[in-house]
Amino acid sequence: MRQFRTSTNQSISRPASAEMYKDFDATQLYCSRCKKAVPIRKRLLLILPEGEKYEYLCQHCSESVGSKIDRKIKPVSLVV
């Protein structure tokens, strides 16, 4: 029987699991007016100090089906 050597060095770099699942965007959400999961549109609602707030809207009836605050750390720049 032939013995195969397995390499312990993996040349494929993989991101850390925490970074890999850091940010998700919804593609479908449940709409209470349409009574089913529907494709959504993402709309910037507010720019807050802690991040940007987005609203998810149903593509069929424009009902609000959810919201999300994107907390990306950005450098603060002041204009004087």
pLDDT, one tens digit per residue, over 43-75 is: 999 998 888 999 999 999 999 999 999 887 666
Residue scoring higher pLDDT (6 or 21): 21
Helix (H, G, I), strand (E, B) or coil at 30: strand
Measure the CA–CA gap between 69 and 23, rounded to whole angstroms. 11
pLDDT, one tens digit per residue, over 7-16 is: 555 555 666 6
Q: pTM of the entire structure? A: 0.63
